[in-house]
Structure 1
Amino acid sequence: MPTSVLVAVLGGALLHASWNAAIKAEHDKLLAAVAVTLGAGLLGALALCWLPAPHPASWPYIAASSLLQVGYYTLLAATYRDADISHAYPLMRGTAPVLVALANSGSEALHPVQWGAVALVCAGGAVICIGGGLRSSRRTLVLALLTALVIAAYTLVDGLGVRRSGAPAAYTAWLFVLAGAGVAITSRPRLRGRLGPYLAAKPWLVLGGGFASAASYGSALWAMTLAPIAVVAALRETSIVFAAAIAAWVLRERVGPARIAGAVLIAGGAALLRLA
């Protein structure tokens, strides 16, 4: 894995943890999620003015991923209504690379060291979540696991689609434009006229959250054009470490020894991926 890819994926992981924390910090999680997706969609629409069109072969993947992204943001908002980010985030992000690796192992074989690195990253997520004491309801657990399933699904779809696009940046921009529109349309009945005033009052969330969301996933898609999908997906889960730090220092959540141990496992897995 080239150093540039490693830096891009780790930077994207930090941005991902940051916009998730921003949604969690808001009182209305659904409004916050819609604001972030609309901001990403707006930035994507502006970028399309200077980007070439993706290859036609990638459009089915863009459409499929956009639908999955709508479900992802909806599930994310519902999950954060029930649980702390330091509990729910590791469960969602730690389970997804296991599913990606299992589903993708037939087309991109990983050697034993890479499998060991993926296992370390996933084990770290499990230790943070389970070892730290997940006191959430069964509904929260189901929502988090469903979110992980959707993450794995769109990761695989986009890993294949971006390689067919010939234009990773344009692929990402169209994805966020369509996903932003889809989230706004499907959430409209539940927002009841509150979206406009909320967006006007939270421009920092729209632009900052939108940029963080688009840049974090855009960097991952670009990395998938240069490295195996499962390796990129696992390395991106170092966002769990950043999320734990933000939870402790910004959101003032309790982070005990189990979560610290989990973060060490994840960092070790990320280092092993770099050396493999």
Structure 2
Amino acid sequence: METPVFLLVITAAALHAGWNALLKIGLDRFLTAALIQIAAGVVALAVLPFVDPPKLAAWPWIGLSALLHIGYNSYLARAYQHGDLGQVYPLARGSSPLLVAGLSVVLLEDRLSAGELLGLLVLVSGIWLMAVRGGRGAARVNGSLLGCALMTALFIAGYTLADATGARRNGDALTYSMWLFAVNALVMTMVVALTRGPRTFLQLGPHWRGGLAGGTMSLAAYSIAIWAMTQAPVALVSALRETSVLFALLIGALVLKEPMPPIRLLACGVIALGVVLLRLL
């Protein structure tokens, strides 16, 4: 992976952690995720007049990604019913790069060197390590939590591969990304209206500033990742994106004054080692 691509993906990871830090805005997690996706779509709509429509070959992948995002948000919300953020997030985000790595070899014919694979495994191990003592009260990872977290990871891997394929076939990552976010917002609006009722949007109104800030960061973060997946192996981009867990911990410690137990410090070190290996090997 070339240095500019590497640095931009790390920047995307920081943006991803930034909008996740905005999740505590007084709504349940599903509605918060919906608000951010809808807000990102509004930002994308403002850009659409300045970009071309996607090529015909890209539209099936945009549609598939939108459907997979519904599954992602659904299982993520279920996972949070069985465990807290410190357990669910590392399990879901840490498992998806391994799924992407295996599937991208078959579906996209991406290849990883032995050094890149080692770096990926070390990085993922560090993310998983956070889940060992990630929950409040050192809660154990139960079967329901694990099942929902792994299903979340599967949907993450699915939409990651769908978007990598769609952007590559489109030949223009920016065009693909903007239309993807616009379609995602439309689909999420329909899902909220059908599952929670039209009056639910009245609950979202007071939180529009936080939603717009989170949506803008979400759009920027994933657009960078989609572009990077047209420049480098998808598995490497997927793994580096998950360093957002590290940035989230730093935000929690430095901004929110959350405690940083030794196991998390160790996990941060393992993740940093994985990043170094990915860059140098």
TM-score (norm 1): 0.92
- Distance between the aligned counterparts of 2:129 and 2:60, measured in 1? 37
Q: Which moved more, 1:126-135 or 1:201-210?
A: 126-135
Structure 1, unmatched stretches of 5+, are: none
User: Which of 113, 119, 122 is 1:120 aligned to?
Assistant: 122
Question: Counterpart amino acid of 1:57?
Answer: A
Q: Is the 8 A contact 1:41 1:179 kept in 2?
A: yes
Q: Is the 8 A contact 1:118 1:231 kept in 2?
A: yes
Q: Is the 8 A contact 1:31 1:191 kept in 2?
A: no
Question: Counterpart amino acid of 2:228?
Answer: A
1:160 aligns with 2:160: no
Compared with structure 1, are the counterparts of its residues 246 and 237 closer, same or farther at alpha carbon in structure 2 (3 Å cutoff)? Answer: same
**Is the partner of 1:176 in helix, strand or coil?**
helix
CA RMSD in angstroms comes to 2.0
Question: Counterpart amino acid of 1:188?
Answer: A
Q: Is the 8 A contact 1:72 1:147 kept in 2?
A: yes
- Distance between the aligned counterparts of 2:232 and 2:114, measured in 1? 16
| Cα distance, 1:189 vs structure 2 | 3.8
1:97 aligns with 2:97: yes
| Cα distance, 1:41 vs structure 2 | 0.9
Question: Counterpart amino acid of 2:224?
Answer: S
Compared with structure 1, are the counterparts of its residues 272 and 232 closer, same or farther at alpha carbon in structure 2 (3 Å cutoff)? Answer: same
Q: How many residues align?
A: 276
| Cα distance, 1:252 vs structure 2 | 5.5
Question: Counterpart amino acid of 1:28?
Answer: D
Partner of 1:220: 225
| Cα distance, 1:251 vs structure 2 | 5.2
Structure 2, unmatched stretches of 5+, are: none
Partner of 1:85: 85
Alignment of 1:69-218 (within 5 A): 69-106=69-106, 107-132=109-134, 133-135=138-140, 137-218=142-223
- Distance between the aligned counterparts of 1:253 and 1:84, measured in 2? 15
Q: Is the 8 A contact 2:79 2:148 kept in 1?
A: yes
Q: Equivalent pairs: percent with the same residue?
A: 38
- Distance between the aligned counterparts of 2:81 and 2:143, measured in 1? 14
TM-score (norm 2): 0.90
- Distance between the aligned counterparts of 2:276 and 2:26, measured in 1? 34
